[in-house]
Every structure is written in C-alpha cells, then in structure tokens.
C-alpha cells in the first residue's frame, strides 16, 4: 500500500513523495488544531481524538490483516479528522463506530486508498449524524473551558452560533479567531486551522483553488444573503467563514487528493460548488451547518467535473459535430 500516489493531469513528473509522507504532513498540519482543541476542551478532547485515531487505524489493520498499525498513515488522518468534527463530550463509542464506518464503508469497500469516491471521514460523520443525530446536533456543543485540562466540559452546552440563536451568537471576532466558542473539536479555532494549512501549502500538498473557491463563495454569499445588517448584524460573510466547519472542511477535507478533481479549473469549480451548497444548506436548509453534505455531494460530482475540465492537448481542435 506504500506505492506512489500520483494524481495530476499531465505532464507527470515523478517525485519521491509517498502516501505515508503526505499523510504525516497532514498530521503535522492538524497538530496546532488538535493542540488548541485540547487547550479549550481539556481531557475529553484528547480522549475523543485518540479514540478516533486508534479505532480508525485498528479497523484498517484488521481489515487488511496487516501488523503495521500505522501503515500509510491515511487511517490515522481519517480518524483524527472524524474526531475533529465531533463535540468533545461524545461517549467513546461514537468515534469508534464512526471511525470503523469511515474506514470500512467510506474507504475499504471501494477498494482501499485511492479508490474511494467520498471523503472517508465525512462518510463516517454522515453516518453518525443520521444515526445518533440528537448527540451531534442541537444544543449539545460544550462551551470551552480554556486551560482547565481536567474540567468536565459537558456541564454547560449550547447551540452552535450558526443556529442563529441569540445566546449563542454573542461571540466577538477575536473569540471566533482563537476558537473560544462552542463547537466541534476542530472547527472552533480559525487561527490554528490556517496556521496548519500553511504547512500543507508550503509542502505543496494542497492547491489554493479548492479552499480559495470555497471560502470566497461562502464569504460572498454570506455577505449578500446572510441576513447581514438587515436581520442580524452578526450574520456577516466573515461570521460565516469563521463559524462552523467551513475552514476545517475547506482546508483539510475538500482538499483530499483522492476525492477532489485534478484539473486546475475543476478544482475551482469544486471549491465554488462546495461553498454554494454549504451556504444554501446554512441559509435555507433544515440543518444549521452544511459542510459535510456539501463536500460529500461535490465528491460525487468529482469524476464529472474532471471529465469536463480536462485541458485540451496542445494542437487539439474542438471536435466538429457532423450535420
């Protein structure tokens, strides 16, 4: 499973990158986010992330009957990303079932790494949301207690600011940036997410087009349609960018190499589409947050986008339609 992972349109240049090295880079990039999550939500955050990663790696090792638990590292990334979409106070079996479902249904049944159509972590999350929705939505998000590692954070919970309820909305811009608000583990701190993503940009693992298209669309739609100054002064474009899972999704999930288009214009279309669906769900849908379903929907469209955006070969002319 340690073969070369080369997905791009031609011309192809061989690199010494392996799946494992990329996955380790992703784990490094998620480091700051995980650190902030532990600082904010304490030991429960650490347990949830550890359980998610452990369960994902164990499931993959068992499925492939492989002794090397870490393997190519992709299972660890899936497990960690899944845990980051959960509230810190979920019971232990939620990340376990979610990670197992993500690995088996989201990845291995399609034929393993590189073959899956959907982002495995989001498949895991979707299954959890549909199965135990009351634990993953509503007024269940723990309010963080920064720097109290052993504090029990499940005592005070609230709705996500996106639900548009007054009490949850009173968050300042600086709180949004640092992440001192109710939410799932990996979505609260904008600074940590951007900081981590820089590592991936630096390493060249992600392209600006997907997050760029995604975030720009969310910002524009949030500014124009978010209620803005008319209905709710908080619901601005910036608010929509910094709350919920948009940054986590745009920087770490939509950019998954396997499930996003390979052509440059395709990536842009993919990002814009994710942003569009996210905002449609947020503004007009029944759920307060739409990142999961937006990215999964666009994942399904990826082969189509690739098909229509393959760059023309040098000298190729548009095929004439015969009368």
Partner 1 sequence: MKNSYLADITRGIFKENPTFRLVLGMCPTLAVTVLVKNGLGMGLAVVAVLTCSNIVISSLRRFIPEQVRIPCYIVIIATFVSIVEMVLQAFVPSLYAALGVFVPLIVVNCIILGRAEAFAGKQPVLRSLCDGIGSGLGFTLGLLLLSLVREVFGNGTLLAETNYAVQLFGPNFEPMRLLAQPAGAFLVLGLLLALTNIVFKRLQIE
Interface contacts to partner 1, rule CB under 8 A: 97, 105, 109, 127, 130-133, 135
Closest approach of Cβ 118 to partner 1, in Å? 13
Q: How far is CA 236 from CA 118, 121, 225, 294, in A?
A: 30, 29, 9, 20
User: What backbone torsions phi and psi does residue 240 show, to the nearest 5 degrees?
Assistant: -65, -30
Helix (H) or strand (E) holding 158: strand 157-158
Closest approach of Cβ 95 to partner 1, in Å? 14
CA distance 5 to 227: 44
Q: How far is CA 116 from CA 105, 119, 247, in A?
A: 9, 7, 23
Structure tokens at 158: 């609230």
Between 26 and 294, CB nearer to partner 1: 294
Between 52 and 211, CB nearer to partner 1: 52
Closest approach of Cβ 90 to partner 1, in Å? 12
Do 46 and 150 meet the contact criterion of CB atoms below 8 Å apart? no
Closest approach of Cβ 35 to partner 1, in Å? 31
Do 121 and 256 meet the contact criterion of CB atoms below 8 Å apart? no
Closest approach of Cβ 135 to partner 1, in Å? 8
Between 38 and 94, CB nearer to partner 1: 94
Between 70 and 132, CB nearer to partner 1: 132
Could you write out the DSSP letters of every residue in 217-275? Answer: HHHHHHHHHS-HHHH-TT-SHHHHHHSTTHHHIIIIITT-TTTS-SSHHHHHHHHHHHH
158 pairs with which residues across the strands? 141
Q: Is the four-CA dihedral 255, 258, 259, 265 of positive or negative sign? A: positive
Between 108 and 260, CB nearer to partner 1: 108
Return the residue matching tokens 């814009």.
272
DSSP-derived secondary structure letter, 108? G
Closest approach of Cβ 130 to partner 1, in Å? 4
Between 43 and 135, CB nearer to partner 1: 135
Closest approach of Cβ 123 to partner 1, in Å? 10
Between 132 and 195, CB nearer to partner 1: 132
CA distance 163 to 291: 14
């Amino acid at each position: 499973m340690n073969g070369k992972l080369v997905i791009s349109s031609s011309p192809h240049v061989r690199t010494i990158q392996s799946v494992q090295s990329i996955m380790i880079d992703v784990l490094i990039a998620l480091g700051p986010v995980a650190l902030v999550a532990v600082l904010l939500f304490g030991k429960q955050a650490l347990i949830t992330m550890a359980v998610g990663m452990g369960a994902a790696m164990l499931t993959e090792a068992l499925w492939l009957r492989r002794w090397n638990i870490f393997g190519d590292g992709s299972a660890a990334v899936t497990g960690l990303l899944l845990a980051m979409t959960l509230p810190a106070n979920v019971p232990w079996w939620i990340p376990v079932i979610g990670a197992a479902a993500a690995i088996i249904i989201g990845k291995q049944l399609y034929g393993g790494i590189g073959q899956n159509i959907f982002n495995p972590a989001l498949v895991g999350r979707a299954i959890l949301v549909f199965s135990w929705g009351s634990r993953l939505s509503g007024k269940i998000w723990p309010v963080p207690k920064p720097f109290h590692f052993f504090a029990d954070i499940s005592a005070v919970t609230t709705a996500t600011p996106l639900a548009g309820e007054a009490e949850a909305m009173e968050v300042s811009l600086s709180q949004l940036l640092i992440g001192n608000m109710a939410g799932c583990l990996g979505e609260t701190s904008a600074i940590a997410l951007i900081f981590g993503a820089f590592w991936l940009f630096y390493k060249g693992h992600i392209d600006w087009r997907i997050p760029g298209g995604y975030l720009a669309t969310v910002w524009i739609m949030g500014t124009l349609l978010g209620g803005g100054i008319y209905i709710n002064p908080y619901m601005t474009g910036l608010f929509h960018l910094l709350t919920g899972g948009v940054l986590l999704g745009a920087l770490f999930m939509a950019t998954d190499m396997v499930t996003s288009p390979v052509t440059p214009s395709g990536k842009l279309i993919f990002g814009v589409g994710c942003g569009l669906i996210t905002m449609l769900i947020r503004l007009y849908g029944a759920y307060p947050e739409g990142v999961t379903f937006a990215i999964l929907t666009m994942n399904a469209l990826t082969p189509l986008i690739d098909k229509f955006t393959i760059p023309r070969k040098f000298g190729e002319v548009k095929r004439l339609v015969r009368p």
